[in-house]
Amino acid sequence: MLLNIEKLRKEYKRGNTSFFAVDSACLSVEHHDFICITGRSGSGKSTFLNMVAGLLTPTSGTIALHGNDYSTMNDKQISKLRNESIGFIPQGQCLLPNLTVLDNVRLPFYLSKRNGDIHEKAMSLLKKVGIADLADMYPAQLSGGESRRVSIARALINSPSIVIADEPTSNLDKETAKEIMKLFSHITSTGIAMLLVTHNLEFVEYGNKIYSMDAGKLIEGSRA
Amino acid sequence: MSDKNLTTIALSIQNLKRKPFRSTCLIILVSIFSFVLFGGSILAVNLTNGMDNMSKRLGADILVVPAGYDKSVQDILLTGHPSSFYINGSIQDKIARVNGVKTVSPQLYIATLSATCCSASLQLIGFDPNSDFVIQPWISKRVRSNILNNEIVVGGNVGAKPGDVLKFYGRKYRVVACMDKTGTGLDASVFMNMNTARKVIFNNEKLSSQYANFGKTLISSLSIKVEKSYDINEVASNILKNYGEKGIDVIVSKNMLSSISNNLHTFLLFIDALIIVFWLLAIIVLTTVFAVILNERKREISILRSIGATRKKISRIILCESSLISLIGSLVGIFFACLILFPFNAFISTSLKLPYLLPSFLEILVFLLASFLISFSVGPIASIFAAFKIGKSETYTMMQED
Amino acid sequence: MKNRIITGVSFVILGVLIAIGPLYIFKVCSPMGKEVMKCFYTAKAEIGVGSLIAILGVLLFVFKSAQTRFGVSISVTFAGILAGLIPTVLIGVCSMPAMHCHMVTLPAIIVLSVLTIAGSIINSLYLFSLIKRDHLKL
């Protein structure tokens, strides 16, 4: 099993009361899985995803990637895991504005103190997502769809085991969104697992497993 | 950038390059501080050195000068502004008999003309090598025996070297030694024995008729050393009481020095205050700017975290950016301070009208390093709190706050 | 474009200051009768070198090609060195430290020369990096 999540909870305090943004969520992910999680705004999808990516500390529960339990790891270890095994695509604009497209894609490789030339792999990934000619552009010069493609290329630079994407098709037109989803399907076919959150029910058909999030609870759904 | 490793420094440089206006303004701020720090420190140490030298060169406890010429003596010492003033030399023996007077030695001051091109007016100073206790001990560091007739010793700013021949009032004089710079007006002076100095006047028709009434033993001033057991001010007022009607004024060196040193002290306090103000300004402005910048860059930081950057890495990037700003700012400020202070050293000295002497190369280097380190520390100090705070924040919370 | 404007204007200003400064701003000694001092000839020579630097500054603005501007920038460096050598080694100023030309004109020219040299070296390095980057792209 690639990723195992058991009874994951995240509690927040709001004034004198507290509530669970994520409440006892359980999930198992295998290689080649393409999991789509849907739900209304405020249902806890992003909170869940960020905990899985190791960016948010859960209140309780376990998350284990390749058998490594997050709760036993310090910041350095989780960051290393996130860098090497997870390709995370945050919601919205997620490129570094001061770096070119090519440097944005190359950056995760250098965060793990690696040496070597990643230039060719980065260019080949940009070619795969269809924007190799924009390598020297800056994010401000790209459209929404082009930015999203760059973030996908960046997520793949370290050959991760799983790609986690938070609302990757938000603010995109239908055609561009479909192209992005097709790219994700292609990624899964190469053996990389996909965990994706979307509020667009149209796109859940791309996944082989569907879940929905409601008031913090993760409920397994079925394909239509 | 595309073929280079994306190290912390490379990322920081790129971040600074993409915001050129902001980066330039912050660099200018640090460079102004380092300019004031290094420039002010060198200025202060130059003035202090000059003052120390001046008090060494003064030597005498009391100076007797013609009435109304006390300011001229100050000018000669401070700025080297040449002056000529005389009294009859017969007063020397009388003053030597005043209670408390230990040693008396005469000097003769003659201002030259700047007749030839490439020459400025100089101060000729005649002294008695047998009785002098101010100039002779100083000159004897360079000249083994007493200066002979028609031989001269020049100050550091006269621009002549041993073996050169200088001409004053139509007669030639051979340079036997050149003194080190003192930062005082003596640097623009020429020293000769009393015989030679008197001949300058009496061999010149115009001068000798102009000053004939002062007699063959004319002098300009008397330097007096007081016995240890006597109060200097008392001896000075005794001299004035007994011989004041002979047309003389009495200067107590300590009092003259202390009034100059009070002016200097105020000036130095001003420099210190300026340095502190600029230091505080630099830190406050940089801290504020970095806090604002980091608030704006929460999204960027959360993206870095999401692709695997550790908290330490983020802090390192932030500190590296502030250090680069400090580094460039410090170097630029110190560079401009050097460009103004050292080439224009003589001009500053003349303009300030205070004793002014550059320290040794090693001392300057020490000040340079210290100024650099202090200015360089401004950036990291300003950003350390923000870097620490960002490093502690939850990434997801930062994303939501943006 | 920004680089062309900044460097062009900077070197024109520096060149003009070197050319006319010794005559009108940080003046050399005036001739005394028939006698003409070294500093006077220094000022004359600096008119030539300063004008050259100003013209090179104009060329830096006019030419678009990074390679051409790199060559012009190198020329400015050497012109700056020449401007500094004239009052120090090649011709000189009055030897007496108290003279105005020694106290003010000489250091002023040295400062302007250093700024010209430093500015042109930095500009040359920047243009060299541009040329290298364009070469890699090809």
pLDDT tens digits, one per residue of C45-71 = 999 999 999 999 999 999 999 999 999
| pLDDT value, residue C76 | 97
Chain B residue closest in CA terms to A106: B6
ipTM above 0.95, yes or no: no
The residue of chain B nearest to residue A102, with distances taken between CA atoms, is: B2
Q: Which chains touch B (3 or more CB pairs under 8 A)?
A: A, C
Rounded to a whole number of angstroms, the distance from the CA of A73 to the nearest CA of chain B is: 13
CA of C63, closest CA in chain B: separation in Å? 24
pLDDT one-digit tens code per residue, A7-42: 999 988 888 888 888 888 899 998 888 999 988 888
> Chain B residues with CB inside 8 Å of A100's CB?
1-2
Model pLDDT, residue B142: 78
Interface touch B188/C115, C-beta < 8 Å: no
Chain C residues with CB under 8 Å of B344 CB are 103-104, 107-108, 111
CB contact under 8 A, B6 and A100: no
Look at chain C and report how many structural domains it folds into.
1
Q: Residues of C with CB below 8 A from B120's CB?
A: 96, 98-99
Average pLDDT, chain C: 91
Give the pLDDT of chain B (402 residues) as one tens digit per residue: 556 788 899 999 999 998 899 999 999 999 999 999 999 999 999 988 888 888 777 778 888 988 888 788 877 777 777 888 888 888 888 888 888 999 999 998 888 866 455 566 788 899 888 888 888 888 887 777 778 888 999 988 888 888 888 888 888 899 998 888 888 888 888 999 888 888 888 877 777 777 777 777 888 888 999 998 989 889 999 898 888 777 888 888 888 888 888 888 888 899 889 999 988 888 898 888 888 888 888 888 889 999 999 888 988 998 999 999 999 999 999 999 999 999 999 899 888 878 888 899 999 999 999 999 999 998 898 888 877 777 666 666 655 654
Q: How far is C90 from chain B (nearest CA, A)?
A: 18
Helix ranges restricted to H, A86-208:
101-111, 119-128, 144-156, 174-189
Give the span between the Cα atoms of B220 and B88, in whole angstroms: 8
Can you tell me the distance from the alpha carbon of C118 to that of C91, in angstroms, rounded to the nearest whole number? 23
Residue the block writes with tokens 């994520």? A22
Q: What is the pLDDT of residue B352?
A: 83
Low-confidence ranges of chain A (pLDDT < 70): 113-114, 222-224
The answer to whether residues B289 and B282 touch, using CB atoms and an 8 Å cutoff, is no
Decide if B159 touches C, using CB distance below 8 A. yes
Token digits of residue B84? 């000529």
Rounded Cα gap, residues C72 and C56, in angstroms? 6
Shortest distance, CA B98 to any CA of chain C (angstroms): 41
Q: What is the pTM of this model?
A: 0.84
Give the range of the structural domain holding residue C125, as residue numbers without chain letter.
2-27+34-137
Contact (Cβ atoms closer than 8 angstroms) between residue B32 and residue B161: no
Distance from CA of B385 to the nearest CA of A (A): 20
Q: Quick check: C137 pLDDT over 80?
A: no
pLDDT of residue B141: 79
Q: Say whether C95 and B159 touch across the interface (CB within 8 A).
A: yes
Cβ of residue A115 closer than 8 Å to a chain B Cβ: yes
Q: Report the distance separating Cα C128 and Cα C138, nearest Å.
A: 15
B300 CB-side CA count, 13 A: 18
What pLDDT, on the 0 to 100 scale, is given for residue B84? 83
- CB within 8 Å of chain C, chain B residues 57-86: 80
Across the interface, do B6 and A83 touch by the CB < 8 Å criterion? no
Kindly determine whether residue C35 and residue B159, on different chains, have CB atoms separated by under 8 Å: no
Q: What is the layout of strands, in order, in the sheet containing A217-220?
A: A86-89, A162-166, A193-197, A34-39, A209-214, A217-220
The whole-angstrom separation of Cα C43 and Cα C27 is 9
A75 contacts in B (CB within 8 Å)? 310-312
CB contact under 8 A, C107 and B158: no
What residues of chain B lie within 8 A of the CB of C29, using their CB?
117-118
Residue C47's beta-bridge partner residues?
A: none
